[in-house]
Structure 1
Amino acid sequence: MKGVNTPVSTAVIMPSPILLWRFKVLLFFVWGFSCCKIGWDSVMRMSVDLRDLFLYEAFLYYNPLLLMTMTVWLWGINLWFFSQASVNYAKIFDLDQNHLTHREIWKCATWMTIIVPTSMTAYLYLYSNGEVSLAASQPVLLYCAVAMILVFPFDIFYMSSRYYLLRTLWRILLPLQAISFSDFFLADILTSMAKVFSDLERSVCRMLHRQVATIAWFEADSVCGSHSIAIPLVLVLPYLFRFFQCLRQYKDTREKTTLLNVALLGYSSSANHISSHTCYTDENGFIFG
């Protein structure tokens, strides 16, 4: 009929998921190549005498976050295996219905994989071009951003999962209640990351004392040097957390096997404390503990 407008259906053309995935992979490789190229050129631009010292310092700042990123990737792989084997890990870890799946964990790990090396590349590039103050701000901004995201009080960035992690860490610090499996599991992971906490302590110390992008920390008697008493204390902390967890477990269950764990953890923490005081110096003057 004349005068009647018939609606015209317009189909929205959307790219296929496979095409989008390939495009993301391509962008990821372009980003990775760019970071490697810029980082390599920046390092080669430095003097030979300064290069080794600076790389050691850059490694110290970014190594903890890179290892944490790898941990998140591996945790996502664990969840994927759990889902494939039909393991109800949400019930095991006492998670709510809003817990993260392996895909969401991998999404977080992907962003961490992008942000941390990008910050490291900017650090190398700025320092090699004489922008020392801007270079020094890169690890500081990154560490502050990580801390702010963890405690961000608004319902974004997986708030329930972030606060679940923080509550578990708090229960590990103060085991005043019965030990749950998630408490034990996370504390056990922390014992494997003792060196990460040691590097974190030295990194934060240098940031607080404004020693980033300098070699003031190289002096052994420096407040952030390798002979600092804080290093062995931080190395022992994860073992002490597990030690007190075992004591709490014995108090609740009266199982004598937990006392064996107490003895083993006491020995491990003592050995770690003693070995952390043993330092070696190579031909370039680096101090390793």
Structure 2
Amino acid sequence: MVWLWGVNLWVFLQSTVSYTKVFDLDQNHLTHKETWKCSTWMTIIVPTSMTAYLYLYSHGEVSLAASQPVLLYILVAVILIFPFDIFYLSSRYFFLRTLFRIALPLQPITFPDFFVADILTSMAKVFSDLERSVCRMVNRQVATIAWLEADSVCGSHSVAIPMCLVLPYLWRLLQCLRQYRDTKEKNCLFNALKYSTSVPVIFLSALKYHVLHEKWETLYRPLWLLSSVINSLYSFYWDITRDWDLSGFSRIFKFNKSSVVSNMFYGRQWIYFWVIGSNFVLRCSWTYKLSAHLRHNYLTVFAITLLEMLRRFQWIFFRVENEWNKITRSGVQLTEIPREEEKLLGSNIHDV
């Protein structure tokens, strides 16, 4: 995901979209090259930890193997909160402040706040995996023969899994309510409703492990399917009409007016058809990830997670550009107001 974010920044740099103004970044922000440098270190450190785990476990060093994920988690936390001016201090603290504002939306919501929160909804599976990893570490079931027995504590039937899956959507829901309180715009409520539609998908799926099989087949499974369809279609509609401002797909067919279409993909009509079609398919498949009772095939889960990362990657282009278009349009309107007043004043003087 961080590698792809670097690609996003590189494409913005080649276009007329000023991402620094959209996110209100200072001069010390991470460029695409610095982002890729961070990605490189992450790509080195994480597989190294995994390799050390497998090597030590295969050679009978169970306790040392179990320490590898613990050390990795501690290393990440230490780097994030390291108080000295190394490892991109301002960017790390900007990220931590944003996470704090997301978790506790007690102040007016800025674009970086809900932008990062939207990305976190695509990483809901990461939250549930994080919980299971920490659970296994705490219960000392990382590298022992009791791994399978750990399902009784940290397994797929745990109530903590749907709680972690719903957390990013709950944060985004609270942000929308806070925005409505500040702006009184009804669109904020409709956006909040969109995130609330993920809650039935998550918890109805989890009910399979806590109700009788007949009850699940006759009542809860149809409700889960219905809520999945509603969530997928509503989310797809919101992406196209609100986040990307492609209402009625009208911008697709207006390539003779560069001010109407994308600054980044001007003249490339096929990109719009691709992004709309792929977004629809992947919005529907993402429901699979929110449903705990479908997550037994780890290869399928991994593939859908990877596809969701790619969907979010292309979503970022159009979402940031749409925000940039709003900024530029508001700037044009502000510059036009004095001219109109000048004309009005001139006509009044002439009448006098």
TM over 0.5: yes
Aligned to 2:175: 245
1:182-197 map, 5 Å: 182-197=112-127
Secondary structure in 2 matching 1:212: coil
Amino acid in structure 2 at the alignment position of 1:255:
E
Partner of 1:56: none
Aligned counterpart for 2:103 among listed residues 142, 165, 173? 173
Residue 91 (structure 1) aligned with residue 21 (structure 2): yes
Q: Who is 1:231 aligned against?
A: 161
Which one has the bigger helix percentage? 2
Q: Distance in 1 between matches of 2:147 and 2:188?
A: 42
Query: CA shift at 1:282, angstroms?
Result: 7.0
C-alpha contact (below 8 Å) 2:124/2:166 kept by paired residues:
yes
Question: What is the letter of the counterpart of residue 25 of structure 2?
Answer: L
Q: Which residue of 2 aligns with 1:145?
A: 75
Provide structure 1 residue ranges, at least 5 long, that are not aligned to the other structure. Answer: 1-70, 284-289
Contact (CA 8 Å) 1:217, 1:225: kept in 2 or not? no
1:115 counterpart = 2:41: no
Q: Structure 1 residues 270, 98: CA separation in 2 closer, same or farther (over 3 Å shift)?
A: same
In structure 2, the CA distance between the partners of 1:87 and 1:197, relative to structure 1 (3 Å rule), is same
The superposition leaves residues 65-101 of structure 1 with CA deviations (integer Å, 9 ceiling, x where unpaired) of xxxxxx1101000000011113221111111110010
CA pair 196-282 structure 1, distance change in 2 beyond 3 A: closer
Q: Post-superposition shift, 1:241? A: 0.4
Normalising by structure 1, what TM-score?
0.70
**Superposed CA RMSD:** 1.7
Cα shift at 1:277:
4.4
The residue that corresponds to 2:4 in the other structure is: 74
Given that 2:136 and 2:150 are in contact with CA atoms closer than 8 Å, whether structure 1 keeps it comes out as: no
Aligned to 1:270: 200
Task: Provide the C-alpha distance between the structure 2 equivalents of 1:219 and 1:91, rounded to a whole number of angstroms.
Answer: 52
What is the identity, as a one-letter code, of the residue corresponding to 2:10? W
- Measured against aligned partners, the alpha-carbon deviations of 1:96-142 in whole angstroms (never above 9, x if no partner) come to 11001000000000000011011111111111111111111111101
Q: Is the 8 A contact 1:194 1:238 kept in 2?
A: yes
Please state how far the C-alpha of 1:209 moved relative to its aligned partner: 1.5
Among all aligned residue pairs of Structure 1 and Structure 2, give the percentage whose two residues are the same amino acid: 72
Report the TM-score when normalising by structure 2: 0.58
Q: 1:229 to 1:217 in 2, by over 3 A?
A: farther
Counterpart Cα distance in 2 of 1:215 and 1:245: 44
Larger RCO (CA within 8 A; separation ≥ 6): 2
Query: Which residue type is aligned with residue 45 of structure 2?
Result: I
Residue matched to 1:259? 189
Return 5+ residue gaps in structure 2 as ranges.
209-292, 298-352
Q: 2:80 is aligned with what amino acid? A: L
Distance in 2 between residues matched to 1:202 and 1:194, nearest whole Å: 13
